[in-house]
Structure 1
Amino acid sequence: MAFTYVWNKRNLYRQKITLFGLLALLLLGANTAAVAQKKIKGENKPGYDEKRVHYGFYLALPLTRYNLQHSQWYADQLANADATGEGYITANTKTNIGLYTGLVLNVRMAEYLDLRFVPGVGFYGRPIVFTNTQAEDVEDVQTISSTMVELPLLLKYKAKRRGNFRMYFVGGLKPGIDLGNRKNNPELPDEQLLQVNKFDLAVEYGVGLDIFYPYFKFAPELRFSQGLLNMHQPLNDDAQKYSKSIDRLTNRNISLILFFE
Structure 2
Amino acid sequence: MKKVILVLTFLLGFQYTNAQLFTKEKIKNLENFDKKRWSWGYFLGFNSYDFKFDYKEHPTNDILVEKSLGFNVGLIGNLRLNDYFDLRLEPGVVFSNRNLTYPDIPEDDNFREVKSTYVHIPFLVKFSTKRINNFKPFIVGGVSTSINLSSNEKNPDDNSAGEFRMMQSTYYYEVGFGIDLYLFFFKFSPSIRGVFAINDELKRDVDPNSPYTGNIDQMSTRGIFINFTFQ
When the two structures are superposed, what TM-score results if normalisation uses the length of structure 2? 0.86
Counterpart residue number, 1:127: 99
Output one character per residue of 1:87-126: Cα deviation in whole Å (capped at 9) or x when no partner. xx75222322211110000110112000000000111112
* Distance of 2:188 and 2:127 partners within structure 1: 17
Matched, 1:97 2:82: no
User: Which secondary structure state, in structure 2, belongs to the residue aligned with residue 244 of structure 1?
Assistant: coil
Structure 2 alignment gaps of length 5 or more: none
Matched, 1:151 2:121: yes
Counterpart residue number, 1:215: 185
Report how far residue 255 of structure 1 moved: 1.3
Structure 1 alignment gaps of length 5 or more: 1-16, 79-88
* Distance of 2:209 and 2:143 partners within structure 1: 37
* Distance of 2:203 and 2:160 partners within structure 1: 14
Q: How does 1:169-208 map to 2 (within 5 A)?
A: 169-182=139-152, 190=160, 192-208=162-178
User: Which secondary structure state, in structure 2, belongs to the residue aligned with residue 110 of structure 1?
Assistant: coil
Output one character per residue of 1:99-156: Cα deviation in whole Å (capped at 9) or x when no partner. 11100001101120000000001111122211247x5x77833121211111100000
The answer on whether the counterparts of 2:139 and 2:178 sit within 8 Å (CA) in structure 1 is yes
* Distance of 2:187 and 2:62 partners within structure 1: 48
Report how far residue 162 of structure 1 moved: 0.2
* Distance of 1:69 and 1:191 partners within structure 2: 24
Matched, 1:43 2:28: yes
The answer on whether the counterparts of 1:154 and 1:173 sit within 8 Å (CA) in structure 2 is yes
* Distance of 1:120 and 1:235 partners within structure 2: 30
Matched, 1:229 2:212: no
Larger radius of gyration: 1
Report how far residue 192 of structure 1 moved: 4.7
Q: CA separation of 1:113/1:125 partners in 2, compared to 1, >3 Å: closer, same or farther?
A: same
Q: CA separation of 1:236/1:92 partners in 2, compared to 1, >3 Å: closer, same or farther?
A: same
The answer on whether the counterparts of 1:68 and 1:92 sit within 8 Å (CA) in structure 2 is no
The count of corresponding residues between Structure 1 and Structure 2 is 228
The answer on whether the counterparts of 1:194 and 1:243 sit within 8 Å (CA) in structure 2 is no
Kindly provide the amino acid, as one letter, of the partner of residue 95 in structure 2.
F
Mean Cα displacement is larger for which, 246-255 or 207-216? 246-255
Q: CA separation of 1:90/1:167 partners in 2, compared to 1, >3 Å: closer, same or farther?
A: closer
The answer on whether the counterparts of 1:191 and 1:241 sit within 8 Å (CA) in structure 2 is no
When the two structures are superposed, what TM-score results if normalisation uses the length of structure 1? 0.77
CA RMSD in angstroms, aligned pairs only: 2.9
Q: CA separation of 1:123/1:254 partners in 2, compared to 1, >3 Å: closer, same or farther?
A: same
Higher helix residue share? 1
* Distance of 2:208 and 2:223 partners within structure 1: 32
* Distance of 2:62 and 2:126 partners within structure 1: 42
Counterpart residue number, 1:27: 10
Q: How does 1:105-120 map to 2 (within 5 A)?
A: 105-120=77-92
* Distance of 1:147 and 1:189 partners within structure 2: 20
The answer on whether the counterparts of 1:191 and 1:242 sit within 8 Å (CA) in structure 2 is no
Could you tell me which of 205, 211, 220 is aligned with 1:250?
220
Kindly provide the amino acid, as one letter, of the partner of residue 63 in structure 1.
S
